[in-house]
Structure 1
Amino acid sequence: MLEAQDVTFAVGAKRLVDEADLVVPPGKVVSIVGPNGAGKSTLLKLLCGEIHPTEGTILLEGRDLEEVPAGELARRRAVVSQSTVLSFPFTVLEVALLGASVPGFGMRDEQMVALAMDSIEAVGLKGFEERLYTELSGGERQRVHIARALCQLEAPERPPGETAAFLLDEPTASLDFSHQSIVLGEARRQARLGRAVLVILHDLNLAAAYADEIVLMHRGRVMARGPAEEVLLDDLLTDVYGCPVRTNTVPADGVPFVLPYVGA
């Protein structure tokens, strides 16, 4: 379980995250939503250990995250950032392999390649293995990094009962409709494997469709959390987003409203 307890992150006098509480349990998909500047990405960086809270504590299975050794942290969580800069002409396979080749994971070369190939196929990039990363579209690059993170989750040998976390920051922002479904379907699969999954989304409809719990943030604070029907409320969303919002209604003038079908 990954948990934020009364966490604040301040830069000068500005609180980017303000006394936030959050729990990401194993086997669940938790989605953070909210307007630009709400503190979503900053909270994810705190949860993965990239930055440290000004106040409060981040816990991993009850342990202070700052006390978890780097090697164990690499084994216990995989992160896909909102944007990643990679200028070297690596192939798609080589980038994916970065997730499996972490020192201490103990995989043989042929095992790592097989895992990377499976992960590439899982994000809809089968046949791209020898393509250069620098020649891919933005959405394709994002899926390569998701494949890398999947390798990182699968590669290490884990002690019995040890869980892992999968943290994604706007993984669908550059993706078309079909690939949004592939990526978020993979997030749900990881939850079924017992992983704690946290995903930042701007699309409230995708959050409602795929997340077990939604966390709504505004100005660094957690305004509400719970299942979609308890968080996606007209008055609350209108106040947070600063524009009129009506949930569960078809848009005016018969404009089609399309969501992916989410199976069992």
Structure 2
Amino acid sequence: MRKPLSLIQPAAALALVAVVIGVPLWLVVVTSAKSQGDALNPSMALPADGWHFAENYARAFSEGRVVQAFLGSASIVVPAVILVLLFGSMAAWVLARRSSVWLSTVYAVAISGIVIPPAVITLVLLLRQISLAGTLTGMVLVYVGIYMSTAIFFITGFIRTIPHELEEAARVDGAGPVRIFFTIVLPLLRPVLATATILICLYIWNDVFFAFFVIGGRMDTLPLNLFQVASAGVYLNNWNLIFAYVVLMSIPLLVVFVIAQRRIIAGITGGAVK
């Protein structure tokens, strides 16, 4: 009985993954290669009048201002992720190593942002009061505040698995808190930091909601630009161009994940062994 079950369970898992991920992916890729008339009603069928990959992707690239939108997204994602991971790691280290009633309260408040959505109207009004509405700095700070809870939640649990003796040995050698954090703790956080980087990059890269309210019309990001040109009628009923833009928008994250996945897996394995 065990042998058939050992074969059925992986096969069922692969089939489920193929349906959940493969079907939407196939729909997007195939539709992006169809003509406008053939793509009016998106389906999984092959193109009826030939493949139009080059034509559709070239038009989506030029009309969608992909280069400007990519630079805008990158200028927001990179500093936001760095700040979230840096400050989140510092806060998580303190919260994981010190135990008191008020620090437990601080931790509960810090991770409450995972389930409590931010008040968008209040956020926009606050940014206007401090003259950061519609600016790159304001958008970066918004994402830092939103995803700090996620970073603290992941990193705090990981730090609690790191032996205290490593830090105590560094203190005996005369190292201060700053040196201990950057030379002892931070290098050990590579597995969880790699995982958090992928998740936070994915959230920010695909976000259109907060970008629309904070920098809408003042700066391009890839999802915001797609929303704007689609709403303006440039891609009205042009599902082939919309899906082509979606594929182009997903390529940078896919490249990052393919490059980083080995390091993520190796880091997780190394952390588990330690």
TM-score, with length taken from structure 1: 0.24
Higher strand share: 1
TM-score, with length taken from structure 2: 0.23
Higher helix share: 2
